[in-house]
Structure 1
Amino acid sequence: MPELPTRRSLRIRFVPVAAVVFCVVAAGGAAAWFLLGADQKTGTCEALLKDEHVRSALGSSYKADMSCSELGEAVKKAAVGVQPGQHSLQQAQVMKTVVMAVDESLEKTSGHIDAALRVPFAESLADYAADTASTIGLGDRDYVRNGSPSKPAWKDDEGVHMAVPRYTLLRVARALSEDSTAYVTLRGATTHHAAEVLTAVPRRATGVDLTVPPMLNSHVFGAFDAFATAVRRDLGKERAAEWDRKVFEEATARQSVPPPYAKDPVGHLVASWQQTLREGGLENSADVLEQQNAVMVDIWGKATGLGDKVRDSLHDDALNDTSAARGNALRNLS
């Protein structure tokens, strides 16, 4: 296997995902569906409000008697910048602090996050899609080095970044995924970032310059497939079917004609993928989701004029790599 590049060496530019997140939230509506019930508490918010690190990170936005939804909004205010995907060092540090605190709380809540916190927290985390992809994927060197709880957010010539231990993010994202809207919010942001990764590949690229970016995406999507598998397993047949229905409806709620690749390459890949998922139908949605990276690679390969043999090879690699990553993430979560 070739040495993995750092995020800096890939030179990927983050494109705003606000429209994706907005559509997901709109589809879920104000009364988003929560698996444990909108009023049920597990103790996450109580733990966060007592955490001195969280209190310090939120600053003037902190109030000891905040509700879970108010806490979620306070985190968004403190961690999300004016420009989607663009953060100050302070904002990125807030995000890291809260992710670490949520993970710590999972030990006391049997792995659950308070229902009212899931969606606003997922919206905050979705704004860090480039960071989360680098963390739960194959292990970008910069993110591994800076993932320790004692390491602060950092800045380089690509911008500001935050990292947490991979297992921490896997557990937190898995817990958020119990809520269909939170899951689609995170996966939608990941889809947008994956499209950026593919469209950043230079024309006429060969060798590792061509094969590594799709492989990186496979390992991220494999983790999200693992979250879905774990949620379905824990819910049981009937509730899992309802979760799948909600995910499908919310993920396909935004219907748009894919723009030409030459005009909007990222938009073309994202809209074409959504169209494929929609056309597959609810009954096939779980299987189609597990083929997402292969589908996106196919769309990208055709749009950029890759030959049939190359596209077929990349397609097969995407399926195999995603499946392996799913299994790896499930083992880490068990």
Structure 2
Amino acid sequence: MALARPSRRTAAAAIALVVAAAAGAAFWWLTGRDDPDRDCAGLRGDDRIRTVLGAAWRSDLPCGELADGLHHATVGDRPGSHTLEQARALRSVLSAVASRADHRVHPEVRRPLANALADYAADTHAVLTGINNLYTAHDGPGADAWQDDNGVHVAVEKSQLTSVLRGLSDDPAAYATLRAADLHQGALGLAAIGADPSGPEIEDPLARAAAPAGVFDGIADDVLRDRDGKARTAWQDAVLSGLAAPVTAVPAFATDPAGYLTQSWLRQVAAAPDRFTRLHDQAADLLSLWGDATRRDRERTGIAGLQDRARTTTDRERAETVQQFKQSSP
């Protein structure tokens, strides 16, 4: 734009200041890290969120009320029993949150949404395995939640779910809630192994336990990437405290096998000298506990070799998850 004549310089300067201010505001909106309402406003203004909240939505809805509304829309008053409408609402929420390239979720939204997702742990666990054909058939943008003889189910693309989990996991309590829910799903799979299993009957549930555990390891790696010193230790300690909080008396394997595996492993983690590092051996440890509880002949069952395969699967998923976040970083 050409320079204005001397008589118009003041006006031109004023216009330039306005333009610069607008550009700066836009840049701050896109890249800033200090606006307490930025992430909430972005989510609140998303048409998908407006549809989910329906009559409860308003343009000045506080973040806490927004979070509570999303939790109610996706879980309702009967946790663990979902309607198709609730599952569709969750699908819309996940899509809206995942569309943010920087994975940011407002602090007041993280725990309520993590609690909602934990209530769908059977679904999210299946998505994170990456090998469940039923879920991959329903994870595309044009797909829908569905219902069968086992209840209502919901799926999104694995990369979308992983992005949402990353956004929520800036809050260590949210991360602990989500990881504990997935841990229980992995334990359920191992607990369901028959009395005299063949190799594949062990390998399949073990792989389904190991892959999501690797995703959660990768999420933790990315959260900690920008933290050092006290901030890093504080997040890790808070995660461990969150995982230890629900630890109760260990039930007998015969009456509650999944509860036995879950509680026994969390107790092992709490007692380990390298507690946070111990999380990386989640699936292998669960298998070892299963072998002991069922009195398997370790050599005949090939426990050691199966543990190595579980670690390989976990390490692969961990590395792929970290790479996903590196590639999507702004």
TM-score computed with the length of structure 2 as normaliser: 0.84
Q: Could you tell me which residue of structure 1 aligns to residue 313 of structure 2?
A: 321
- Offset at 1:293? 1.2
Spell out the pairing of 1:144-183 with structure 2 (5 A cutoff).
144-183=136-175
> In structure 1, what residue type is equivalent to 2:294?
T
Spell out the pairing of 1:79-158 with structure 2 (5 A cutoff).
79-104=74-99, 106-107=100-101, 110-158=102-150
Q: Distance in 2 between matches of 1:65 and 1:95?
A: 22
Spell out, residue by residue over 1:47-89, the C-alpha distance to the aligned partner (whole angstroms, 9 max, x if none).
2222222212222332332211111111111111444332111
* Stretch moving more, 251-260 or 165-174: 251-260
Spell out, residue by residue over 1:181-212, the C-alpha distance to the aligned partner (whole angstroms, 9 max, x if none).
01001001111111111112222121212211
| Change beyond 3 A, Cα 1:211–1:272 | same
SS at match of 2:141: coil
Establish whether residue 303 from structure 1 lines up as the match of residue 296 from structure 2.
no
> In structure 2, what residue type is equivalent to 1:175?
G
Spell out the pairing of 1:206-285 with structure 2 (5 A cutoff).
206-281=198-273, 284-285=274-275
> In structure 2, what residue type is equivalent to 1:222?
G
Q: Could you tell me which residue of structure 2 aligns to residue 333 of structure 1?
A: 325
* Stretch moving more, 310-319 or 322-331: 310-319
Q: Could you tell me which residue of structure 2 aligns to residue 64 of structure 1?
A: 59
SS at match of 1:189: helix
SS at match of 2:131: coil
- Aligned residue pair count: 293
| Change beyond 3 A, Cα 1:74–1:151 | same
Q: Could you tell me which residue of structure 2 aligns to residue 31 of structure 1?
A: none
CA contact (8 A) 2:184 2:258 kept: yes
Q: Distance in 2 between matches of 1:320 and 1:290?
A: 11
Higher RCO (CA-CA < 8 Å; seq separation 6+): 1
CA contact (8 A) 2:130 2:136 kept: no
State the percentage of identical aligned residues.
Answer: 32
Structure 2 unpaired stretches of 5+: 1-31
Q: Distance in 1 between matches of 2:185 and 2:105?
A: 25
| Change beyond 3 A, Cα 1:254–1:111 | closer
RMSD: 1.9
Q: Distance in 1 between matches of 2:186 and 2:222?
A: 22
> In structure 2, what residue type is equivalent to 1:55?
R
SS at match of 2:321: helix
Structure 1 unpaired stretches of 5+: 1-35
Q: Distance in 2 between matches of 1:42 and 1:223?
A: 29
SS at match of 2:226: helix
Spell out, residue by residue over 1:206-242, the C-alpha distance to the aligned partner (whole angstroms, 9 max, x if none).
1212211011110000000000111111222331111
Q: Could you tell me which residue of structure 1 aligns to residue 181 of structure 2?
A: 189
Spell out, residue by residue over 1:91-134, the C-alpha distance to the aligned partner (whole angstroms, 9 max, x if none).
00000100100111x23xx3311111111111111111111111
Q: Could you tell me which residue of structure 2 aligns to residue 25 of structure 1?
A: none
* Stretch moving more, 160-169 or 201-210: 201-210
TM-score computed with the length of structure 1 as normaliser: 0.83
Q: Could you tell me which residue of structure 2 aligns to residue 286 of structure 1?
A: 276
Q: Distance in 1 between matches of 2:73 and 2:98?
A: 19
Q: Distance in 1 between matches of 2:131 and 2:259?
A: 27
Q: Distance in 1 between matches of 2:122 and 2:180?
A: 12
CA contact (8 A) 2:97 2:103 kept: no
SS at match of 2:147: strand
Q: Distance in 2 between matches of 1:142 and 1:163?
A: 9
> In structure 2, what residue type is equivalent to 1:98?
V
* Stretch moving more, 141-150 or 222-231: 141-150
Q: Distance in 2 between matches of 1:202 and 1:333?
A: 38
Q: Distance in 1 between matches of 2:58 and 2:269?
A: 42
Q: Distance in 1 between matches of 2:247 and 2:126?
A: 29
* Stretch moving more, 80-89 or 219-228: 80-89
